Structure 1
Amino acid sequence: MSDGVKTVGTAGPPDDLPIRIAPLPREQWTDAAREVFAFWGEPDAWENGSRTNTQMVLANHPPLAMAFNHWGKHILIENSAPAWARELVTLRIAWHMHSHYEWHYHVGYALNLGMTLDQIAAIGVGPDAGSWSDLDAAVLRCVDELWENSRVTDATWATLSAQYDKRQLMDLVFTLGQYVMLGWGLAAFGVQIEEGVDPIGFDLKTGSGRLPGVRFKPGEVEDWADNQYES
C-alpha cells in the first residue's frame, strides 16, 4: 500500500470523549498508586508516573488497577493463543466498539507481527473480506458472533478447534472479553490518547499523515516504552 491506506468498513472517527475520571494528580500519589505506575516496568514510573493514560486513570483505584494489570499481563503477554489471532480479535473488537485507544496501539502490535496495512484495513471489513485463510476468517467470525449474539456457531468452533487446543480456545475467547471490558472503561472514563502521540485513525491514517509504525509490547525490547509513546 504505497499511496496511503484505503478506508474500509463503517467505523467513523473516534468519539470526542469527555474526561470523567482524570489521570491521578501528583498530590494524590500514594505508594499503592506508584505500584500501579510501575507495574509494567516503565523506567522511572515509580518516581514520575506512568506515561500511559490508562495506568494513570486506573491508579485512582489501586486494588482494581493491580487486579486488572495482572489479568491484562496474562492476556497481553502470557496468552497461549497465537499472537496473530489475538491481534485479529483485538482489532476487530476495537473496530466494533469504535475504541480509538485500543485500535491505535494494537495496529502497531499487529505490524510488529508482520501483518500488512492492507490486512489490518481488511479487519474492518471482517471475515468475508476475501483474503483471509479459513482459520483467520473463523477467528474474525468468532468475534462477530459473540459480539452480535453472545454465541459461537458450531461451524466456527469446529474450524477453530481443529487448529487450537483447549487452552488456546479459552484464551482466545477471554482475549475478546478483555478488550470489550477495557473498551467500556476507556469510553466511560474518557481516557484520551497520550499527549504528543501521533494518533492512528480507523482509516489507518495518522494525525501527521505518516504511515503507522511498529510498536512493541512491554518488555519485548529494551526501549519498548519509548517506542510505545513516541509521536
Structure 2
Amino acid sequence: MTEITPRIPPLPRAEWTDDAREVFAYWGEPNAWEEGSKTNILMTMGNHPDLGKVYNIWGKHLLMSNTLSTRHLEILILRVAWLVKSAYEWHNHVGYGLNAGLTLEEIGAIRDFPAGDDWNEQDEAVLRSVDELKNDGVISDATWAILGQYFDMRQKMDLVFSIGHYVMTSWAISSFGVGIEGGADQIGFDLRTASGKIPGKTYKPGEVEDWTDTRGY
C-alpha cells in the first residue's frame, strides 16, 4: 500500500470547463459539478472531456445495466483486477462484491483460482473466461460451450466486453498513475485494510441514497 505519483494529475480547477464538469458529475455524486468529483479517475478523465464523456456512458452500461448478474459481474471484475494487479479496481470492487453477496473467503478464492473455493460450473466458466481472454485473447470452445448452458447471447456479449473494459480501465489507471482516494481505508490483495478493519460493503452510484458515504472519502 504505497503512495502513487500521478503521471496525469487531476484537472486543475482553473481548467474546469462545462465539458469537464460533465465528466465529474456524470455519476450523480453530490456537488460534483461545483466542487469536482472525489473519485480520482473522474478527475483524471476530466483532462480529456471528449473521451471522458463517452467512457462514462460505456462504463455505466457495463457497471449498472449489465445483463450479467451483479454477482457474476463482480467475480469477473475482481479476477481481472488480480490478474492485471490493479490495486485501485481491487479496492473498489471488494466492497461491491461483498454487497453482491460474495464472502471474503470467495473473494480470496477468486484471487487464488483455480485453487481455493469449490466453484460451481457456472462460476468456474466465468473465471476461466477471464483467464483465457487475458492469456490467449479468446475464450476456448470448451468454456464457450459451458457458458452457453447458463447465459444467453446478450449475457455472453456483455461478459466478453466487461472483461475487456476492466482490463483496459485497469491499464489506464495504472499507466496514468491514478491512486486510491485519500481517506479510503485501502483494501490490499491480501484482503486486509490499512487500518486493520474487516472490509465491508460499498454501494454503486445511486444504489442507495447515501451511496457516497460508504466509500470513506
Residue ranges of structure 1 left out of the alignment (5+ in a row) = 1-13
CA distance in 2, matches of 1:18, 1:49: 20
Tell me the number of residue pairs that the alignment of Structure 1 and Structure 2 aligns: 217
Deviations 1:130-157 (A, max 9, x none): 4111110111011111111112111111
Give the Å deviation of 1:125.
1.2
Give 2:172's match in structure 1, choosing from 185, 195, 199. 185
Residue of structure 2 equivalent to 1:22: 9
Give 1:214's match in structure 2, choosing from 201, 206, 213. 201
1:83 aligns with 2:70: yes
- For residues 131-150 of structure 1, the aligned pairs below 5 Å read 131-150=118-137
Deviations 1:61-98 (A, max 9, x none): 00000000000000000111111111111000100011
Residue of structure 2 equivalent to 1:158: 145
Amino acid of the residue matched to residue 176 of structure 2? F
TM-score normalised by structure 1 residue count: 0.91
CA distance in 2, matches of 1:99, 1:130: 22
SS at match of 2:175: helix
Give the Å deviation of 1:15.
7.0
Deviations 1:24-46 (A, max 9, x none): 11111111111111100011111
1:172 aligns with 2:165: no
1:112 aligns with 2:95: no
Amino acid of the residue matched to residue 170 of structure 1? M
CA distance in 2, matches of 1:128, 1:187: 27
SS at match of 1:124: helix
Q: Greater relative contact order: 1 or 2 (C-alpha under 8 angstroms, separation 6 or more)?
A: 1
CA distance in 1, matches of 2:2, 2:51: 26
Residue ranges of structure 2 left out of the alignment (5+ in a row) = none
Aligned-pair RMSD on alpha carbons?
Answer: 1.2
Deviations 1:145-191 (A, max 9, x none): 11111121111111111010000000011110110110111011000
Residue of structure 2 equivalent to 1:203: 190
CA distance in 2, matches of 1:227, 1:142: 31
Give the Å deviation of 1:129.
2.8
More helix by share: 2
TM-score normalised by structure 2 residue count: 0.97
Amino acid of the residue matched to residue 66 of structure 2? N
CA distance in 2, matches of 1:178, 1:40: 18
Residue of structure 2 equivalent to 1:45: 32
The answer to whether the 8 A contact 2:66-2:158 is kept is: yes
CA distance in 2, matches of 1:26, 1:226: 24
Give me the identity figure in percent: 53
1:123 aligns with 2:123: no
SS at match of 1:47: helix
SS at match of 1:162: helix
Give 1:71's match in structure 2, choosing from 46, 49, 58. 58
Give 2:83's match in structure 1, choosing from 96, 104, 112. 96
